[in-house]
Amino acid sequence: MDQASITEKMESRFGDAIIAKTDSCGQHAITVRAGDLLSVATHLRDDAELSMNMLVDIAGVDYLEFPLDENGEGRGWRYEVVYQFMSLGKNHRYRVKVAVDEDDLHVPTLATNWGVANWMEREVYDQFGVIFDGHKNLVRILNHHEFEGHPLRKDYPINRRQKLSKPIEHIIPEDPEWA
């Protein structure tokens, strides 16, 4: 299916949940609020025509320096968490973005359904500070355990270096499936 027809399908199903639509070099994306993420993602996976069973990537974006969107209007949110889905059988991709406000940094986790989301969400938490509800092991994954702050936010000075005094002891989380 081409991008336009997938977008049309999503609009007909989730009409008022979609707060923005974007097109970036041919890849369409819909923006939703955090509460609708799980229903959008499971629909993408379970629908027979779409069957997007693979979560390719989860990325974070900080729009602190880009407060206006493509139409020149105010964006209204600071962070976005971008989910890229792909269908292995039908060979098409789609993108879902979740708008996250500065004061409410909570997004439901997809790691219970897509195992790969575990570490990807830990990375978004580490670099941006977005908290994923339901993730049982949301700790830093890239930066060291004594690091304070979230470095990929635009207001973190890129040159600030934080030294590590000693390496972390090996920690096994309470639920080893969430390691």
Partner 1 sequence: MGLESNVNQPFITTTMDSVINWGRQYSMWPLPFGTACCAIEFMGVVSSRYDISRFGAELVRFSPRQADLMLVMGTITHKMAPVIQQIYDQMPNPKWVLSMGACASSGGFYDNYSVVQGIDELIPVDVYVAGCPPRPENVLDAVCKIQQKISTEKAAAWR
- Site of interaction with partner 1 (CB under 8 A): 142-144, 151, 156, 158-167
Looking at the Cβ atoms of 21 and 145, the one nearer to partner 1 is: 145
Q: How far is the CB of 37 from partner 1 (least distance, A)?
A: 29
Looking at the Cβ atoms of 89 and 163, the one nearer to partner 1 is: 163
Looking at the Cβ atoms of 92 and 153, the one nearer to partner 1 is: 153
Residues forming beta bridges with residue 96, ordered by sequence position: 30, 83
Question: Using alpha carbons only, how large is the chain's radius of gyration in Å?
Answer: 17
Looking at the Cβ atoms of 91 and 165, the one nearer to partner 1 is: 165
Looking at the Cβ atoms of 96 and 124, the one nearer to partner 1 is: 124
Cα–Cα distance for residue pair 131/143, rounded to 1 Å: 16
Residue with tokens 């989301």: 117
Given a contact cutoff of 8 angstroms between Cβ atoms, the answer to whether 98 and 30 are in contact is: no
Q: How far is the CB of 135 from partner 1 (least distance, A)?
A: 22
Q: How far is the CB of 179 from partner 1 (least distance, A)?
A: 18
Q: How far is the CB of 168 from partner 1 (least distance, A)?
A: 9
DSSP 63: -
Contacts of 1 (CB under 8 A, 6+ apart): 9, 49, 50, 90, 92
Q: How far is the CB of 84 from partner 1 (least distance, A)?
A: 25
Contacts of 82 (CB under 8 A, 6+ apart): 29, 57, 58, 59, 60, 61, 95, 96, 97, 98
